[in-house]
């Protein structure tokens, strides 16, 4: 077993893929949206991925059913030669979020999203 100090010291050694942002995008099934027209797969030094998934919850907070929506799992990840510390990862996630916001804001009305910082290694 290693101490917390040893674990954090060894965390910076070696290549790492780290998820910076995680979440969901959705739109009504009746709305024909090609996310490729609005989003990029490369965001500065990060990679943007999305895949269609079943709605991860049955209802939105307002009680509206999610069954009429098309959902996408959304991930922003970055590859590192050396895994940086938590402060640097947080800064990278924040920068990715700021770069992503104008792209998300440019999607058609009816497209929704919920993203959060998720600094776990893949």
What band does 7 get if pLDDT is binned at 50, 70 and 90?
very low
pLDDT digits (tens, 9 = 90+) for 10-60: 455 689 999 999 999 999 999 999 999 999 999 989 999 999 999 999 999
3-state secondary structure the chain: CCCHHHHHHHCCCCCEEEEEEEEEEEEECCCCCCHHHCCCCEECCEEEEEEEECCCCCECCCCCECCCEEEEEEEEEEEECCCCCHHHHHHHHHHHHHHHHHHHHCCCCCCEEEEEECCCEC
Across the chain, what does the average pLDDT equal?
90
């Amino acid at each position: 077993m290693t101490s917390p100090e040893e674990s954090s010291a060894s965390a910076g050694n070696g290549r790492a893929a780290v998820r910076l942002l995680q979440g969901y995008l959705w739109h009504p099934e009746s709305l024909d949206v090609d996310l490729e027209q609005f989003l990029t797969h490369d965001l500065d030094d990060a990679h943007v991925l999305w895949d269609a998934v079943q709605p991860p919850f049955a209802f939105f907070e307002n009680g509206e059913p999610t069954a009429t929506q098309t959902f996408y799992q959304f991930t922003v990840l970055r590859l590192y030669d050396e895994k940086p510390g938590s402060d640097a990862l947080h800064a990278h996630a924040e920068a990715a979020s700021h770069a992503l916001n104008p792209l998300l804001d440019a999607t058609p009305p009816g497209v929704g999203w919920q993203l959060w910082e998720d600094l776990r290694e893949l």
